[in-house]
Amino acid sequence: MKDNAVNPSQSPKVNVTDSLIAEMVLDQALNAFREQQIQKEIDQSLENQNKEEFLRLTEELKNLSAV
């Protein structure tokens, strides 16, 4: 019976550049998703005429966009 375990000397090497690019893409996707969430919450705060929530959310959106 053959051993199906991966031999560490034969495993593919992790390309640092590819890992960094993947991390950047993931970060951008998460930021875009959070921005959309905040926009929806801002719209809701406007509908509810909740000034404090609106100000808090717009500040959060500004901070997220600055990153």
Predicted pLDDT of residue 14: 73
pLDDT per position as a tens digit, 13-46: 778 999 999 999 999 999 999 999 999 999 999 9
Cα 49 from Cα 40, distance rounded (Å): 14
CA 48 to chain centre: 28
Nearest residue to 62 (alpha-carbon basis) of 23, 43, 34, 26: 34
Nearest residue to 45 (alpha-carbon basis) of 34, 37, 35, 53: 53
Predicted pLDDT of residue 3: 54
This prediction has a pTM of: 0.71
Nearest residue to 57 (alpha-carbon basis) of 46, 44, 67, 42: 42
Cα 12 from Cα 61, distance rounded (Å): 40
